[in-house]
Structure 1
Amino acid sequence: MDRIDRQILTELQRDASQSLARLAHQVGLSQTPCWKRVQKLEAAGIITGRVALVDPARVGLGLTVFVEIAAIEHSDEWRAEFLAALDPRPEVMEVHRLGGSMDYMLRVVVPDMAAFDRFYQELTQTVRLRAIISRFVMETLRRRDVLPIPEA
């Protein structure tokens, strides 16, 4: 990736809905070379999709919970069971494997505490866990969705 590819990535992260003409102008290219670079970045798996960012509270999803999980074991079978239990759950926005005292961190977005309690009950009845800790977001002070693309 060169400087222009990095500029394209930054601009698309800021506004993926902008026209190709505007994007090309922003990065100093004509439309055809710019489009070819975007296609190359998509083919390489660097651009993995384009989405609209939605305010969770304005669509009735007022509770965000970070859920820390300690696995009861560290086998491939347990991990597959755990991930299979999470796959059909659209409220699970992120799943991270961690180093340290807890093994996994989930970001769960739900309408309210009752919905989270249902999620919690279903998860703990489906998958054997050593420990689970829930941390409830009171206020989001800053959220960034644009990655700081490093220079070459």
Structure 2
Amino acid sequence: MDATDRKILDILQADASIPVATIAERVGMSTAPCWRRIRKLEEDGVITRRVALLSRRKANVPMTVFVAVKAPRHAVEWLQAFRKLIADIPEIVEAWRLTGEADYQLRIVVPDIETYDVVYQRMISRLEFSDISSAIAMEEMKYTTAIPTNYIATK
């Protein structure tokens, strides 16, 4: 991994549909070597996949709800059931296991509060929780899928 690889990653994180020739030009190399670098980054697992990011508003899921979950017990069976639950609910777009007060943090996207309540009801009907606390996002102040590349070790 070198500075050129990091530049390629920054470009792809901004727009993965940019043609390889354009990326090559931006990083100061010819197309074939640039393409080989991108393939190597994929093979090495640095680039895990390329996706299309949708507008939540146009997809009619403008509301974001952050949900803090406390497990009733810390047992493998409960964790497996929780993993299945979050995998089965498409409105849950992120799930994190945490330290601190809450055990898990979910990010849920829905059209409105009524739909969130349906998701909530599905969750509590399938699994026991000690506590579920919801916070509705009022303003998206920053959102990015790009991660900083300046921490990637160089050769």
Gaps of 5+ in 1: none
Root-mean-square deviation (Å): 1.2
1:85 aligns with 2:93: no
* Structure 1: 4+ residue segments shifted above 6 A: none
Deviation at 1:141, TM superposition (A): 1.9
How far residue 90 of structure 1 moved from its aligned partner, in angstroms, is: 1.2
CA distance in 1, matches of 2:73, 2:32: 52
Normalised by the length of structure 1, the TM-score is 0.94
Equivalent residue number for residue 40 of structure 1: 40
| Deviation, structure 1 residue 42 | 1.1
- Corresponding letter in the other structure for 2:6: R
Residue in structure 2 matched with residue 141 of structure 1 by the alignment: 141
Aligned match of 2:12: 12
* Amino acid corresponding to residue 16 of structure 2 in structure 1: A
- Residue 58 of structure 1 deviates from its aligned partner by 2.1
**TM-score, normalised with respect to structure 2:** 0.92
* Distance in 1 (alpha carbons) for counterparts of 2:26 and 2:102: 43
Q: Secondary structure at the match of 1:140?
A: coil
Q: CA deviation at 1:144?
A: 2.2
Report the more deviating stretch, 136-145 or 96-105. Answer: 136-145
- Give the whole-Å Cα distance in 2 for the aligned partners of 1:36 and 1:27: 14
Worse overlay, 32-41 or 113-122: 32-41
Distance 1:125 1:47 in 2: 38
Give the letter aligned to residue 88 of structure 1.
Answer: D
Deviation at 1:28, TM superposition (A): 1.7
Identity %: 41
SS for the counterpart of 2:105 is strand
**Within-5 A mapping of 1:2-151:** 2-151=2-151
Give the stretch that moved more between structures: 50-59 or 122-131.
Answer: 50-59
TM-fit CA distance, 1:145: 2.5
